[in-house]
C-alpha cells in the first residue's frame, strides 16, 4: 500500500476492463489455483448481521446496547456495516456516480493517471493494477485508482482525475465526511480498551496518510476461476469502504469459511486493520477478506485506508501489555509494514502472520 518509490516490475499487467472485451476465458495468469477458487455458493452471513447505527451511539466511554453490538461485531467479524453515519444518501449516490463515470472514460483519458512511470516502473499512486513481482503471481480481476487524500500537503492533484469535472470536489468532501466516521468509531474503540478517547484518532492525524482506492471489477466470463481481489487484510488502523449498492462481491473469512457481506442500502462498511490488531495487542482482529466477480455485471467500491504516520513505530500499546498478556506482535515502522504488505499481497500471503510472536 505504500511503495513511495517507483519500483521495477516483472511485467505490465493488462487493464482488465480492456482485456474483458477481447477474451472468452480469463488468461492463465488470472486463473486461481483450484484449491483457492471462490465457492460461488458462498455462505450468507448468519443473523445477527453486524449492522451498527452510529447515530445511536452515546458519547464515547458510556455503555449502551449499540456499543456492545459494535464490540461484538468487531470481535466476531472484524467489521460492521455502519448506518446512521450522517452522510446523505444523495451524496453517496454522487460518489458512486463519479466513480462509475471515471471508469467509463476512454482508456486514453484514464491512462493520463497511470501508475506506471514511463510505462515501465510501478508507483503506488495512480490508475492501473497491482505491482507484478513474480511470474507466478495470480493477477486480480480488477483495475483500480489509488490516491493519497490526506494529509492535504501530500495530495498530488495532477493524479486526480479531471473528469468527470466534479470528481475532485466530491473526493475532497467525501474525505472530510469519512474522517468523521473513522474518528467516531476510533473513539469508541479506544474506550473499549480503557484508553484515552483520542488515542487512536491522534494516530491518524497530522502526518498520517489516508489512501483512497477506487476499485473496478469488470464482469468475468468465468467468475468461478478468478478473484476480483485476492484474500488479504488491510494494513490500516481502520478502513471505511463504500461497497457497490447494486452488486455484491465482498466476502469475509471466519474460521476457514467465506461469508458474503450483504448489501445494506446506504451503509458503509467499517473494518479494523493490521495496525489496529497490533496496537490493541490482538484484542481487535484484522479480518481476511476478498472480492469475487460475476459474469453479468461490473462492480465498484471506494475504500478509505487510514494508516498511521509512516515514520511512527507500530507496536502493542504499552497499557495493553502486561505479564498476563505479553506483547503478541513485534515492533515495526509503519512505512516498513506497508512496504511488506504490498509485497506479500502480490505473493498472496498475509504479512500480519509474520508479526506474531
Ligand atoms: O471491493 C470491495 O468490496 C473490497 C475492497 C478491498 O477490500 C480493498 O480494496 O482492500
Ligand atoms: Fe481490503
Q: Atom 3 in ligand 1: which residue has the minimum CA distance?
A: 250
B/e letters for 107-130, b = 16+ CB within 10 Å, e = fewer, are: eeebeebbbbeeeeebbbbbbbbb
In the prediction, which pLDDT does 343 show?
78
In the prediction, which pLDDT does 290 show?
96
Helix H or strand E segment including 122: strand 121-122
Is residue 341, in this structure, part of any structural domain at all? yes
Lowest mean pLDDT among 10-24, 193-207, 219-233, 252-266: 10-24
What are 247-281's pLDDT values in tens digits? 999 999 999 999 999 999 999 999 999 999 999 99
- Please, which residues have CB within 8 angstroms of residue 200's CB and are 6 or more apart in sequence? 186, 187, 189, 190, 237, 238, 276, 279
In the prediction, which pLDDT does 10 show?
54
Is residue 1, in this structure, part of any structural domain at all? no
Is residue 144, in this structure, part of any structural domain at all? yes
- Reported ipTM: 0.99
Dist. CA 251 → ligand 1 center (Å): 9
Tell me what the pLDDT averaged over the chain comes to.
Answer: 93
Q: Mapping DSSP to helix (H, G, I), strand (E, B) and coil, where does residue 87 land?
A: coil
Is residue 225, in this structure, part of any structural domain at all? yes
Q: What is the chain's length?
A: 357
Residue 225 or residue 129, greater confidence: 225
| Number of domains forming the structure of the chain | 1
Ion ligand 2: residues, Cβ under 5 Å: 234
Is residue 194, in this structure, part of any structural domain at all? yes
Dist. CA 289 → ligand 2 center (Å): 6
Is residue 2, in this structure, part of any structural domain at all? no
In the prediction, which pLDDT does 2 show?
40
Q: In the 8-state DSSP scheme, what is residue 227? A: -
**CATH number of residue 318's parent domain:** 2.60.120.330
Whether 335 shows a pLDDT value over 50: the answer reads yes
Dist. CA 351 → ligand 2 center (Å): 13
Whether 81 shows a pLDDT value over 60: the answer reads yes
pLDDT above 70 as % of the chain: 96
Is residue 97, in this structure, part of any structural domain at all? yes
Q: Determine contact, residues 311/334, Cβ cutoff 8 Å.
A: yes
**Phi (first) and psi of residue 219, to 5 degrees:** -60, 155
What are 2-51's pLDDT values in tens digits? 444 455 555 677 899 999 998 889 999 999 998 888 876 689 999 999 99
User: Residues 272, 274, 275, CA angle at the centre, nearest 5°?
Assistant: 90
Query: What domain range is 12 assigned to?
Result: 7-355
pTM score, whole prediction: 0.95
**Distance between CA atoms of residues 274 and 315, nearest Å:** 11
Which ligand approaches the C-alpha of residue 1 most closely?
A: 1
In the prediction, which pLDDT does 194 show?
97
What are 110-141's pLDDT values in tens digits? 999 999 888 778 888 999 987 777 777 899 99
Amino acid at each position: 500500500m505504500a511503495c513511495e518509490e517507483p519500483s521495477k516490475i516483472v511485467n505490465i499487467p493488462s487493464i482488465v476492463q480492456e482485456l474483458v472485451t477481447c477474451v472468452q476465458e480469463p488468461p492463465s495468469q488470472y486463473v486461481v489455483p483450484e484449491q483457492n477458487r471462490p465457492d460461488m455458493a458462498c455462505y450468507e452471513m448468519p443473523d445477527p448481521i453486524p449492522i451498527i447505527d452510529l447515530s445511536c451511539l452515546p458519547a464515547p466511554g458510556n455503555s449502551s446496547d449499540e456499543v456492545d453490538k459494535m464490540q461484538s461485531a468487531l470481535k466476531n467479524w472484524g467489521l460492521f456495516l455502519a448506518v446512521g453515519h450522517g452522510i446523505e444518501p444523495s451524496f453517496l449516490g454522487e460518489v458512486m456516480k463519479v466513480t462509475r463515470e471515471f471508469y467509463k472514460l476512454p482508456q486514453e483519458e484514464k491512462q493520463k493517471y497511470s501508475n506506471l512511470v514511463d510505462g515501465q516502473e510501478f508507483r503506488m499512486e495512480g490508475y492501473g493494477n497491482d505491482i507484478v513481482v513474480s511470474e507466478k503471481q495470480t493477477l486480480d480481476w480488477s483495475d483500480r485508482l489509488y490516491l493519497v487524500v490526506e494529509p492535504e500537503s501530500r495530495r498530488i492533484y495532477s493524479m486526480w482525475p479531471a473528469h468527470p469535472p466534479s470528481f475532485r470536489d466530491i473526493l475532497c468532501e467525501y474525505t472530510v465526511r469519512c474522517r468523521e466516521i473513522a474518528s467516531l468509531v476510533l473513539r469508541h474503540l479506544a474506550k473499549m480498551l480503557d484508553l484515552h478517547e483520542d488515542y487512536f484518532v491522534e494516530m491518524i492525524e497530522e502526518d498520517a496518510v489516508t489512501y483512497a482506492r477506487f476499485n473496478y471489477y469488470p464482469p468475468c466470463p468465468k467468475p468461478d476461476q478468478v478473484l476480483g481481489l485476492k484474500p488479504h487484510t488491510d494494513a490500516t488502523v481502520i478502513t471505511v469502504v463504500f461497497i457497490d449498492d447494486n452488486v455484491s462481491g465482498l466476502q469475509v473469512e471466519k474460521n476457514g469459511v467465506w461469508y458474503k457481506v450483504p448489501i445494506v442500502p446506504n451503509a458503509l462498511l467499517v473494518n479494523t486493520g493490521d495496525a489496529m490488531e497490533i496496537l490493541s495487542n490482538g484484542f481487535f482482529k484484522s479480518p481476511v477478506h476478498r472480492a469475487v466477480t460475476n459474469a453479468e455485471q461490473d462492480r465498484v467500491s471506494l475504500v478509505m485506508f487510514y494508516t498511521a504516520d509512516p515514520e511512527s513505530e507500530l507496536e502493542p500499546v504499552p497499557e495493553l501489555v502486561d505479564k498476563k498478556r505479553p506483547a503478541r506482535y513485534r515492533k515495526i515502522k509503519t512505512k516498513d509494514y506497508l512496504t511488506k504488505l504490498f509485497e506479500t499481497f502480490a505473493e498472496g500471503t498475509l504479512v500480519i502472520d509474520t508479526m506474531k510472536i
